[in-house]
């Protein structure tokens, strides 16, 4: 039986059971009401909702799908992750949406997740992928109060590397349309916004150094610091990336392949930089620490150079750290997005408005310049992760998932 028929019947019965549980008992009902002989003050089932459970407005939903699953804990993404061809399409519960993913985002921390570094208690197999954008193709009755079939949504939730993902309506963000640019804001943009807002104390004239500035999150750190009227320095690995950074307002670009970062910072900024947005780790962390001004702050949002190692870390010169911080009254602050979820919706709404006004560039890299071309389909997620760790991307790496030509959405 197809998903359309079987699931429609199942969800329809769920809806009826849900309705029945909400009704007052005969004893609790008002005297004028009767459970069987009289009539209720509201209909047994709002049939405007029932179509969500019966035919999904004609959407073509298969019974099985492709998805990526971590089958072995490893920082080597290709070793850790398996593409499953015939996984059952999940069913949304009463407060859930079934989202057909159209675009999924690649994050440096995908390999931390595949290595089991975020939760040691979770054992394979488990789903992977942090964020997606797509359309609602089915939903539970309670969820239908706020969402409709065909609506564009984005979300942050483990399991986005799949053709379909069940998402709680509370986690879904309604969008005006399905565009990859919206995906860039979900993790990368929100990380830059919240970390700089909460920890950066940005103000006019401050000097801000952004490492990996042309990457998925670096692009937003550059732009947000410029909006705060700061002087922005960005490190990158090519002249092409340097050109992109200048186009979004970066005041000084440093191509670390052709320039000595330490020498440039010492010569051009002898008094140091006030804020560092650091995501590289290792030697770049050490350089950035040494470049801090008096009362400067280094914000650590990642350390990508270490993620592929067995420990996930790259050595830094930690033995001198206390003395360096004391000498400058400087600080190092860590930022992990999960610890700021209470402010997440506010941040996202702010960023969405900025983008819609044309005040924010959301650069997307589909891998068109990669050897095998554009990242299309779940099979290309492996290439996309490799592409990121080769340092090739400009902006956020996004994989497009083509949808069935039979779909009416």
**Cα–Cα distance between 181 and 216 in angstroms, integer?**
11
The DSSP call for residue 30 is -
Q: What is the pLDDT of residue 59?
A: 53
Q: What is the pLDDT of residue 338?
A: 95
**Contact status, residue 128 vs residue 70, Cβ threshold 8 Å:** yes
Q: Could you tell me the CA-to-CA distances from 199 to 45, 181, 299, 336 in Å, in that order?
A: 50, 26, 7, 12
For 149-218, give the DSSP string: TT-EEEEE-TT-SBSEEEEETTT-EE-SS--HHHHHIIIIIHHHHHHIIIII---TT-EEEETTTTSTTH
The DSSP call for residue 141 is T
Q: What is the pLDDT of residue 51?
A: 44
- Whether residue 125 is preceded by a cis peptide bond, meaning omega within 30 degrees of 0, is yes
Record the pTM.
0.86
The DSSP call for residue 318 is G
The structure tokens listed for 2 are 């197809």
**Cα–Cα distance between 110 and 117 in angstroms, integer?**
10
Q: What is the pLDDT of residue 36?
A: 32
CA-based nearest residue to 105, from 176, 172, 170, 182: 182
Q: What is the pLDDT of residue 44?
A: 28
Torsion angle of the four alpha carbons 18, 407, 396, 382, in this order, in degrees rounded to the nearest 10: 100
Helix, coil or strand: residue 85: strand
pLDDT tens across the length of the chain (409 residues)? 344 443 443 343 344 333 333 444 333 333 333 333 333 332 323 333 444 443 344 456 888 999 999 999 999 999 999 999 999 999 999 999 999 999 999 999 999 999 999 988 999 999 999 999 999 999 999 999 999 999 999 999 999 999 999 999 999 999 999 999 999 999 999 999 999 999 999 999 999 999 999 999 999 999 999 999 999 999 999 999 999 999 999 999 999 999 999 999 999 999 999 999 999 999 999 999 999 999 999 999 999 999 999 989 888 888 899 999 999 999 999 999 999 999 999 999 999 999 999 999 999 999 999 999 999 999 999 999 999 999 999 999 999 999 754 444 4
| Residues composing the chain | 409
């Amino acid at each position: 039986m197809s998903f359309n028929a079987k699931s429609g019947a199942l969800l329809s019965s769920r809806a009826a059971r849900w309705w029945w549980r909400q009704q007052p008992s005969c004893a609790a009902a008002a005297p004028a009401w009767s459970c069987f002989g009289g009539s209720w003050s509201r209909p047994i089932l709002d049939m405007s909702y029932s179509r969500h459970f019966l035919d999904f407005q004609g959407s073509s939903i298969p019974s099985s799908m492709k998805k990526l699953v971590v089958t072995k804990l490893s920082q080597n993404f290709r070793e850790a992750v398996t593409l499953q061809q015939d996984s059952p399409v999940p069913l949304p519960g009463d407060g859930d949406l079934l989202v057909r993913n159209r675009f999924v985002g690649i994050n440096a921390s995908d390999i931390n997740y595949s290595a089991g570094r975020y939760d040691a208690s979770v054992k394979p197999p488990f789903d992977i992928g942090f964020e997606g954008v797509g359309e609602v193709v089915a939903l539970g009755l309670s969820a239908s109060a706020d969402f409709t079939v065909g609506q564009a949504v984005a979300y942050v939730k483990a399991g986005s590397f799949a053709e379909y993902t069940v998402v709680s309506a509370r986690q879904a963000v309604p969008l005006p349309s399905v565009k990859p640019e919206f995906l860039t804001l979900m993790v990368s943009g929100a990380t830059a916004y919240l970390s700089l807002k909460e920890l950066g104390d940005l103000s006019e004239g401050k000097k801000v150094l952004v490492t990996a500035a042309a990457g998925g999150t670096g692009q937003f750190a550059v732009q947000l610091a410029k909006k705060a009227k700061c002087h922005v320095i960005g490190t990158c690995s090519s002249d092409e990336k340097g050109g992109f950074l200048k186009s979004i307002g970066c005041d000084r670009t440093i191509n670390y392949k052709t320039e000595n970062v330490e020498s440039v910072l010492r010569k051009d900024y002898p008094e140091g930089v006030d804020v560092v947005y650091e995501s590289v780790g290792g030697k770049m962390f050490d350089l950035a620490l040494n470049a801090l001004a008096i009362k400067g702050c280094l914000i650590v949002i990642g350390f990508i150079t270490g993620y592929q190692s067995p420990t996930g870390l790259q050595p830094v010169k930690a033995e001198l750290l206390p003395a360096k911080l004391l000498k400058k009254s400087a600080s190092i602050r860590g930022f992990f997005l999960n610890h700021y979820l209470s402010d997440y919706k506010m941040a996202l709404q702010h960023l969405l408005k900025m983008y819609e006004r044309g005040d924010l560039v959301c650069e997307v890299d589909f891998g068109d310049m990669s050897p095998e071309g554009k990242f299309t389909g779940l099979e290309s997620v492996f290439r996309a992760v490799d592409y990121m760790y080769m340092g090739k991307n400009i902006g956020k790496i996004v994989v497009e998932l083509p949808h069935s030509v039979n779909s009416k959405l």
